Structure 1
Amino acid sequence: MAKATKKQALGRGLSALLKDPENDINSATDKNADKVVGNIVELDLDSIEVNPFQPRSNFNDEALQELATSIKELGVIQPITVRKLDFNKYQLVSGERRFRASKLIGLETIPAYIRIANDQESLEMALVENIQRQDLDPIEIALSYQRLIDEINLTQEKMSDRVGKKRSTITNYLRLLRLDPIIQTGIRDGFVSMGHGRALVNIDKKEDQIDLYERIVGENLSVRDTERAVKSYHEAESPNKKAITKTKETPEYIEKTKKKITDYLSVKVDIQTASNGKGKIVIPFHSEEELKRLKKLLTSE
């Protein structure tokens, strides 16, 4: 406990040093820079801005609340990383979930590592550290890899060394970006897995990708089933004998029911049916508040 207290006191002392205009540190060669770089510093949350290069675009509210509860009980165990922008002004490089969760419970400061870097270095650090440490969905990871190629000019070989992943793994993620945007969204929302996506990407025509995607969702096909369907697609003797069965016309009673539920809930629901007459109703929601509203309508609670 004494060691932890000493470490916290050191962090607060360095924080005070950084707030002294006469000792402003802007490069590794400045006076006292060696005391800050590589050390944990307690920074005011209000002095930190979110990184515009952050690859993560989805933050699960429930998971964020769980992290906030953990931080309230145990503190921020893993410091965030920031880069210095100006006097007492910083920008997140990694750790946005910890940053958001800390603000959620009203903390005023957060432990941080400070780096001095330009925008390109910050982008690279943000992308690499998030790929390694955060639970990004497969499409977010693929987009992060693509940005490293487009904006940092990293080759797949160099990227493999930088992120500690096999080149074949990186290639598999990047190939997902060849899928139709509808399927990419389906992967991000969890309707199909990365394994389904890896199978679907072997079909070049987007309309045929969509046809099989609809079968996967409607009939709950496994990855193995999807791989077999893709194989059959390529083995078809002619375009008129494609293995993918076109979505049959939706029965009138299904359309009427779908419209009635949609009107009642004020969200666009979907009813998916299989050839054996079984099916499921999909009711989308985009926030905890919307889920509570739907629950109230469906359960009268």
Structure 2
Amino acid sequence: MAKAIKKQALGRGLSALLKDPENDIQSATDKNADKVVGNIVELDMDSIDVNPFQPRSNFNDEALQELASSIKELGVIQPITVRKLDFNKYQLVSGERRYRASKLVGLETIPAYIRIANDQESLEMALVENIQRQDLDPIEIALSYQRLIDEIQLTQEKMSERVGKKRSTITNYLRLLRLDPIIQTGIRDGFVSMGHGRALVNVEKKQDQIALYEKIVGENLSVRDTEKAVKDYQEGNTNATTVEAPSSKEPKKATINPDFISKNLGAFSEYLSVKVDIKASEKGKGKITIPFHSKEEFNRLKKLITGE
């Protein structure tokens, strides 16, 4: 308990140091920088801006409320990480869920690790720390990997070292970005899993990807069933524009039994109080004729049929 109190007091002392204009630390070589950078400091919530490089875009409201309740009872156990922007101004690098939950319960300060970094370093730190620590959905992880490649120019080999993941794992995530956006949204929303997506990415045509995706969702197919469906597609329909090949047999055309017509003819006539005529062909097509002899009778029939 004594250690915790000492640590908290130290954080407040450092916070006061940062609010002193004569000790405005802008780089790791500035005076007193070693006392602040890498240490836990109690920062005012109002002095922190959210990170525009944050890869997470979905925050589950229920989970956020649960975290807020925990913070209300126990406080913020794991400090957030920020980078210094200006005098008494900071930007989140990681810990946006903790930051949002703390705001929900009305905290005025939050414990934070302070880092001094440029935009590129901040982006890399945010992406790497979130991939490692947060429960991003598979598409968010894939987008984070892609941003590390595009904006930091990391190779998959270097990225593997930074995030502690096998190169094959990174490749599997990146391949998800070849899926149609509708399917990517389905993965993010939990309609299908990453396993389903990994199977569907082997289907080149987007329209066929979507057709299979609708089949997966509609029939609640497992990943194994999906892999089989994709294999069947590849073996029998590689040049088809639709998933299912056309049947070699002509579909059976619907027919109307004459007894069915005569049986229901009386019901029409009785309900409308006029002699209704029904003509139908064996192919299933037909016509219903309802006679009327005046405007009043037309309006009566209209009311019976449309309810207006």
Task: State TM-score, norm by structure 2.
Answer: 0.78
Offset of residue 242 of structure 1? 6.8
Q: How many equivalent pairs are there?
A: 246
Change (3 A) 1:232 1:81: same
What's the RMSD between the two structures over aligned residues? Answer: 1.4
Correspondence for 2:261: none
Q: How does 1:1-301 map to 2 (within 5 A)?
A: 1-236=1-236, 239=239, 244=244
Q: Give SS of 1:64's match.
A: helix
For residues 118 and 170 of structure 1, what CA distance do their matches in structure 2 show?
26
Detail structure 1 runs of 4+ shifted over 6 Å in the superposition.
none
Percent identical among aligned pairs is 89
Larger radius of gyration: 2
Residue 238 of structure 1: how far off its partner (Å)? 6.1
Structure 1 range deviating more: 173-182 or 230-239: 230-239
CA shift for structure 1 position 234: 1.0
Deviation for aligned residue 1:37: 1.3
Amino acid at match of 1:174: L
Q: Residues of 2 paired with 1:223 and 1:51: CA distance?
A: 36
Task: Kindly state the Cα deviation for residue 244 of structure 1 after the two structures are TM-superposed.
Answer: 4.0
Shift of 1:245: 7.1
What is the DSSP-based 3-state SS (H/G/I as helix, E as strand, rest coil) of the residue aligned with 2:91? strand
**Cα distance in 2, alignment partners of residues 63 and 198 from structure 1:** 28
- Gapped runs of 5+ residues in structure 1? 247-301
TM normalised by structure 1 equals: 0.80
Change (3 A) 1:73 1:239: same
With over 3 angstroms needed to count, the CA separation of the structure-2 counterparts of 1:166 and 1:238, relative to structure 1, is closer
Residue type of the alignment partner of 1:162: R
Shift of 1:239: 3.6
Which residue identity does 1:155 align to in structure 2? T
Q: Distance in 2 between matches of 1:165 and 1:25?
A: 35
The residue aligned with 1:252 is none
Q: Unaligned stretches of 5+ in structure 2?
A: 247-308
Query: Equivalents in 2 of 1:188, 1:122: separation in Å?
Result: 25
- 8 A contact 2:208–2:242 mirrored in 1: no
SS in 1 for 2:82: strand
